[in-house]
Chain A
């Protein structure tokens, strides 16, 4: 096939579909319990140098507990998909976890402003960058989930976003229309936070799914954290609610409030005070180091982190805010 134009950005993962098939041929389909702690899951499935993805949307339904644990265990030199990433990106930058980055949205926390530390890290020259867009990375996961090596999309052509990406412009064999071919990403490991899962990894997600259904299928290893464990009987009672099947999943960790300080649809709103404090403290490197020690490095787990930031009283307020009861009660 003729390539009409080509970006100069690196492709950090192998887009070969047959190599991916050879991997998935060996992935277990056994219905077995996969419940473990976040610490254990990160020890087992997240390794230096590998390519990592996180689910959700930046500070909404994010696997915050896994991100913190990755910092505690000191993972380095990873690849990362900066796909709709905001607070999760901010955490990983604090630990300088990755040095290869597929960018779609980074550094910013949407309406909250930019992260000074993430920006500093990205301006340091320590990170090898390839440029994409949110939809481009979505279809790169979609291709991988479908077991094909690329996906044709009609965005990015003619821009610097294309020039600094690893995409190629090709011609449709039927119509002659130009398409940007987006190479599949099969991440080594992904972490996704969901509402409910059974001990085998069958998952239910409420609210928006972002790109997580494709990401779950694309990932070679998948860590699920869930608000609640539910019985397998409940999954089988109505399988129409299952959006990730157990054979995609390697670890199931029950972490109530696992998206904190992020938002969790139908459960709790984001802790804007805490995120604001985080953004502010990043302006002062000394203070930021103390802040990280207090909130991540000296915490045993996610619950200790939450307890240090208001515990159940705070969470109750965030639940009220999610359902917009707060105005009625104030």
Chain B
């Protein structure tokens, strides 16, 4: 039995994507934990941006809101929503982590509703918030999510945030900024990217303890497979120590 849980593995995988000097737009929870881990482990100059206005803080403990005081702790600037989203729109936001109730094979995300009637939805979720904005502007959008066949859906009942839209060059034609889009999907079972031509989701790494079959069985659409699928590296002792002792001592995120 491994001495880490899948949430810890997902956070460590995500943190490793964030190189020093890059910028990342994050929300609360696992994305924030990943950014904090990257900042403490290997990217001391990671520029962490919060949609409400917090810019480049040295986050002391897990924020409960993307606008609370922790998001400007020792920050370089306490700004506003336009400042952050304009920074993203003019091309200075490298990464973001998003999530949703549903994701399809092109990385489109639903965080708005389930059911066909928009004015009287079966289930109402929060909506876009800043997700569509980050998803539209950010060069490399990533998703951290548990993997199950309901969430990885053939078709989202509503597309809140753009992935590669209908695949191929549909996103480029839509008017969204060129060259930006979904980059990697990190789940408890695997890491996926997107095949460059079709823009369909593709397995590139499997987490320890899972098989390609597990990943496909827990996905509502057919996944492509990279020529070489590697095994994802487990968290190091150092990463786990930072995560457990400094970043999330109360296990708000890693205890889920």
Contact = CB atoms under 8 A, between A and B. Distances in A.
A209 B170 contact: no
B96 interface: no
Contacts of A270: 64-65, 68
Given A104-B127, A131-B127, A155 B52 contact: no
B235 to A, nearest CB: 22
B130 interface: yes
Contacts of A108: 125-126
A124 B136 contact: no
B54 A208 contact: yes
A43 interface: no
Interface stretch (A30-38, A133-141, A183-191, A289-297): A133-141
Contact of A158 (B81, B174, B252): B174
A180 B175 contact: yes
Contacts of A213: 80
Given A131-B127, A134-B130, A269 B136 contact: no
Interface stretch (A55-63, A193-201, A231-239, A300-308): A55-63
Interface string B15-33: 0000000000001110000
A265 B127 CA distance: 26
A84 interface: yes
B78 A59 contact: no
B92 interface: no
B228 interface: no
Contacts of A210: 52-53, 67, 80-81
Most chain B Cβ neighbours within 10 Å, of A210, A212, A269? A210
B175 to A, nearest CB: 3
B175 A158 contact: yes
Contacts of B36: none
A106 B171 contact: no
Contact of A211 (B80, B108, B133, B160): B80
Interface string A103-139: 1111110111010000100111101110111111011
Contacts of A111: 28-29, 63-65, 252
A160 B158 contact: yes
Contact of B78 (A107, A114, A131, A207): A207
Contacts of B85: 134-135, 138, 155
Contacts of B71: 208
A17 interface: no
A269 to B, nearest CB: 7
Nearest to A125: B120
B42 to A, nearest CB: 25
Contact of B60 (A127, A128, A133, A324): A324
B92 to A, nearest CB: 14
Nearest to B123: A123
Contacts of B64: 110-112, 270, 272
A15 B63 CA distance: 37
A217 to B, nearest CB: 13
A92 B67 CA distance: 20
Interface residues of A, number: 68
B171 to A, nearest CB: 7
A208 B80 contact: yes
B5 interface: no
Contact of A135 (B53, B69, B81): B81
A178 B175 contact: yes
A139 B84 CA distance: 12
A153 B132 CA distance: 12
A111 B29 CA distance: 7
A128 B51 CA distance: 27
Contacts of A158: 159, 162, 165, 170-171, 174-176
A208 B132 contact: no
A106 B63 CA distance: 19
B65 A86 contact: yes
Contacts of A57: 52, 65-67
11 contacts: A56-B67, A84-B67, A107-B126, A110-B64, A111-B63, A133-B130, A136-B133, A157-B162, A158-B174, A161-B127, A208-B67
Interface of B: 27-29, 51-54, 60-61, 63-69, 71-72, 78-82, 85, 89, 108, 112, 117-133, 136-137, 158-162, 165, 170-171, 174-177, 252
4 smallest CB-CB distances across A and B, nearest first, come from A178-B175, A57-B67, A208-B53, A158-B174
Given A106-B127, A134-B133, A272-B64, 18 more contacts: A57-B65, A106-B124, A107-B126, A111-B63, A112-B64, A127-B119, A131-B127, A138-B81, A142-B82, A154-B177, A155-B133, A156-B132, A159-B162, A161-B112, A161-B161, A180-B175, A206-B78, A210-B53
